[in-house]
A = this chain, B = another copy of it.
Amino acid sequence: MKFEAITIKDIAKALHLSVSTVSKALRGSHEISEETKKHVLAYANEHNYKPNPIAQSLKRGLSKSIGVIVCNIDNNFFSAVINGIESVARQKDYNVIITQSQESYEREIANSEHLSSRSVDGLIISLSAETKRVDHLIKLHDKGLPMVFFDRITDEIATHKVIADNFKGAYEGTRHLVQQGFRRIAHITSSSSLSITLERLEGYKKALADAGLTFEEKYIKLCPHGGMIKEETQQALTELLQMKDRPDAIFTASDRLSTTTLSLLRKMQIEVPQQIALVGFTNSISADIFHPSLTAVVQPALEMGQLATDLLIQLIEAKRPVTEFQKRVLDTELQIRDSSLRAK
């Protein structure tokens, strides 16, 4: 089975014109008489002619589509980013092809190779938690494939980048816990190779330092798969809770980590915030109905997606090679709820 559509040739035949005349007429060229144009347009509309985008792509060497690689769609942060990507792409008449790395380095490589080789005009990427080397992307970038990074970025490729103000977000989240009177604040975060991990860690450290609290290495727990593997989070949490100077608060660094931590605490019947407080990065639309409602550092996910797409399309459509690259840092928002409030 295949889908049959009307082509320029069909129109030409029906109207006793040449294909080139029809082609020009359809695109409103000045060299075609008004009358001919009218005929052609009328016939095209009537028969619902749509140019074959594949043929156009082959001709132009551009596919009018952009590829997206995120770790996982099933995550409020990334789905909101994709929402943003989609809206801008649609408006500029680009298709969006979404792929997931599932935090796997292998799959990230496979996806990037699949998406490249002419089938997309550019790439929007957030690195997987497992990714430590970006040679696969450097190779594509060197060959001229435009790309924009967001959220989990790399310094090794010179191109546009869009991130939230991770330092500030983490700083504010941690400072809030300090202000509430918590003193032993743990930090559960992702793979140490991710840019966001470092930035958020720095914000956390600074907030402690500014409050005169000493930073304790033992309170930092890494989850190399960013919460995709529940056991990692379980393990991190268990270790924290077994310490003799057990933390009185936790600051989690990502969407999945935040919800998983809350879920695990609940299973262990540990009361939040009475026994341990919690603040986390999350874009969950349900943070207000969690038990307890979750104090959240929220990223402007939609805007990040929109901006990344704008920047990518600029790169794709640039007449001359772009040499000045932007690193856009958008503000986060701290939404204070019950999970971080000091019991009176």
Tell me whether A1 and B315 are in contact (CB under 8 A): yes
* In contact, B1 and A318 (Cβ under 8 angstroms): yes
Do B144 and A1 touch (CB < 8 A)? yes
Q: Which listed segment binds B: A18-26, A183-191, A286-294, A328-336? A: A286-294
- A94 vs B79: C-alpha distance in the bound complex, in angstroms? 21
Which residue of B50, B98, B285 is within 8 Å of A117 (Cβ)? B50
By CB atoms of chain B within 10 A, which of A55, A95, A259 has the most? Answer: A95
Contacts of A318 in B (CB 8 A): 1
**Residues of B contacting A75 in the complex (Cβ-Cβ under 8 angstroms):** 79
Q: Does A218 contact B (CB under 8 A)?
A: no
Residues of chain B contacted by A5 (CB below 8 angstroms):
117-118, 143
Other-chain residue from B55, B119, B315 in contact with A53 (beta carbon distance below 8 A): B119
Q: Are A119 and B54 in contact (CB under 8 A)?
A: yes
Are B118 and A54 in contact (CB-based, < 8 A)? yes
Q: Is A35 an interface residue (CB 8 A)?
A: no
Cβ B263 vs Cβ A144 within 8 A = no
Q: Which of A267-314 contact B (CB under 8 A)?
A: 284-286, 288-293
CA distance A285 to B288 in the complex (A): 15
Q: A82 to B289, alpha carbons, bound, how many Å?
A: 25
- Decide yes or no whether A228 CB sits under 8 A from chain B: no
Contact between B1 and A321, CB atoms less than 8 A apart: yes
Q: Which residues on the B side are within 8 Å of A90 (C-beta)?
A: 99
The smallest beta-carbon distance between A88 and chain B, in angstroms, is 13
A83 touches B97 (CB 8 A): no
Asked whether A286 and B288 contact (CB < 8 A) given A5-B117, A52-B118, A315-B1, the answer is no
Q: A52 to B121, alpha carbons, bound, how many Å?
A: 13
Q: Which of A58-66, A127-135, A172-180 contacts B (4 or more CB under 8 A)?
A: A58-66
- Contact, CB under 8 Å: A98 / B100: no
Cβ-based interface call for A4 (8 A): yes
**A54 to B61 Cα, complex, angstroms:** 9
Which residues of chain B come closer than 8 Å to A266, judged between CB atoms?
288-289, 293
> A193 contacts the other chain (Cβ, under 8 Å)?
no
Mask, A73-98, CB within 8 Å of B = 1, is 11110011011001000100001111
Asked if A253 is an interface residue, CB under 8 A from chain B, the answer is no
Q: Which residue of B lies closest to A286 (CB)?
A: B259
A6 CB → nearest B CB, Å = 9
Residues of B within 8 A of A322 (CB): 1
A146 contacts partner chain B, Cβ-Cβ < 8 Å? yes
- Interface pairs (13), CB distance under 8 Å: A1-B146, A1-B315, A2-B144, A3-B121, A50-B117, A54-B118, A74-B83, A74-B285, A75-B79, A290-B291, A291-B291, A291-B292, A291-B293
Known: A3-B145, A50-B117, A54-B54; 12 extra A-B contacts, CB below 8 A, are A3-B144, A53-B117, A65-B97, A74-B79, A74-B285, A86-B100, A96-B97, A96-B99, A263-B288, A284-B286, A291-B291, A291-B292
